[in-house]
């Protein structure tokens, strides 16, 4: 019963987060990076697509098991009197927040940025990792 309840709660949190981050509160011309949240046996990994940004343009915070990504993708300025005839790439500030699916060790979080992808690795707290119990035979 507890697993069903926690699964339901996790799914409700995800749906609400998606609604807030991508729903009616967002204007159609706002930009926000695509994000994957992956859980393994030992850690939670968050990957965000942030091409065209530097690590100085992005901030990552973790508070009360909520991971928040903030940043700004700045628009390039036309140089030497150039005129843009089409601008399809999205620019602007963003904030994305995610309730993590399990408790993590805040002091062990690592973030790595390469090829336009920010990867945040959050090791799980020991109390939530599965423990193998050996069986003895008498």
Q: Read off the pLDDT of residues 25-76 as tens digits, 9 standing for 90 and up.
A: 444 457 899 999 999 999 999 999 999 899 999 999 999 999 999 999 988 7
Q: What are the backbone dihedrals phi and psi of residue 60, each rounded to the nearest 5 degrees, phi first?
A: -125, 130
Q: Would you state the structure tokens that stand for residue 16, as one six-digit string?
A: 């609400």
Q: Read off the pLDDT of residues 117-132 as tens digits, 9 standing for 90 and up.
A: 999 999 999 887 677 7
Structural domains of the chain, ranges and CATH numbers in brackets: 29-75+89-128 (2.60.40.790)
Spell 8-36 as b/e; 16+ CB within 10 A means b: eeeeeeeeebeeebeeeeeeeeeebbebe
> Contact at 8 Å (CB) between 107 and 79?
no
> Contact at 8 Å (CB) between 31 and 91?
yes
């Amino acid at each position: 019963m507890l697993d069903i309840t926690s699964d339901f709660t996790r799914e409700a949190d995800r749906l609400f987060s998606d609604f807030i981050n991508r729903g009616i509160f967002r204007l159609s011309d706002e930009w926000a990076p695509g994000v994957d949240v992956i859980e393994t046996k030992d850690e939670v990994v968050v990957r965000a697509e942030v091409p065209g940004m530097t690590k100085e343009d992005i901030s990552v915070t973790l508070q009360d098991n909520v991971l928040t990504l903030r940043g700004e993708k700045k628009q390039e300025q036309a140089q030497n009197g150039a005129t843009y005839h089409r601008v399809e790439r999205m620019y602007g500030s963003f904030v994305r927040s995610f309730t993590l699916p399990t408790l993590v060790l805040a002091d062990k979080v690592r973030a790595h940025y390469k090829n336009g992808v920010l990867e945040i690795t959050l090791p799980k707290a020991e109390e939530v990792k599965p423990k193998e119990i050996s069986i003895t035979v008498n």
